[in-house]
C-alpha cells in the first residue's frame, strides 16, 4: 500500500488546484527539481512509521534549496503527517521527534521531561 499519491502529491491543472508556488518554483529551475531529495528514491521514507526512518528523511532535507518553502507550505496547509521542510508533522503540527509504537521506556520519559523543562526556561 502506498502512503503517498502516485503523482507525488503535486497539484496540477487537471486536479483543479493549479500549480502551487513550490511547483512553479520547480518549473522555473528545471535542474533543481530532479536533485531534490524528496524526488529521488523511496517516497514512503517521508511518511514512514519508524522514528529512525523519519530522522533519515529529516537529514536528507538539510541541503535542499526549497527546504524553507516546503516547510512554509506544509505549515500553511496544516499537513496531517510526514516530513516536510526537514520537520516531522503530526496532526498538522511540527513535533520534535516521533516516538516508536508501544509504551515508552522510563528512561525515554525522563529524558523527555528534562528536555521539556529545559525548553520552558
In a domain? residue 93: yes
Q: Annotated binding residues, as ranges? A: 38, 61, 64, 70
In a domain, 83, yes or no: yes
Give the pTM: 0.59
Let me know if residue 12 belongs to a domain: no
Binding residue positions for [4Fe-4S] cluster: 38, 61, 64, 70
pLDDT tens per residue across all 121 residues of the chain: 444 444 454 444 444 445 555 555 555 455 556 678 888 888 899 999 999 999 999 999 988 999 999 999 999 999 999 999 999 999 999 998 887 777 777 887 788 888 888 888 7
> What residue ranges in the chain does DSSP mark as E strands?
81-84, 87-90, 93-95
Domain encompassing residue 99: 21-120
Q: Are 11 and 23 in contact (CB under 8 A)?
A: yes
* Residue 48 belongs to a domain: yes
In a domain, 92, yes or no: yes
Instruction: Establish if 5 belongs to a structural domain.
Output: no
For the chain, how many structural domains are there in total? Answer: 1
Instruction: Identify the three-state secondary structure at position 110.
Output: helix
Amino acid at each position: 500500500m502506498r502512503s503517498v499519491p502516485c503523482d507525488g502529491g503535486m497539484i496540477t491543472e487537471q486536479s483543479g488546484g493549479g500549480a502551487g508556488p513550490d511547483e512553479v518554483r520547480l518549473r522555473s529551475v528545471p535542474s533543481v527539481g530532479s536533485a531534490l531529495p524528496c524526488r529521488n528514491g523511496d517516497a514512503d521514507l517521508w511518511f514512514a512509521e519508524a522514528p529512525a526512518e523519519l530522522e533519515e528523511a529529516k537529514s536528507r532535507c538539510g541541503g535542499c534549496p526549497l527546504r524553507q518553502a516546503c516547510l512554509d507550505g506544509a505549515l500553511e496547509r496544516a499537513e496531517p503527517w510526514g516530513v516536510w521542510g526537514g520537520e516531522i508533522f503530526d496532526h498538522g503540527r511540527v513535533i520534535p521527534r516521533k516516538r516508536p509504537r508501544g509504551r515508552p521506556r522510563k528512561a525515554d520519559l525522563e529524558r523527555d521531561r528534562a528536555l521539556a523543562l529545559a525548553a520552558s526556561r
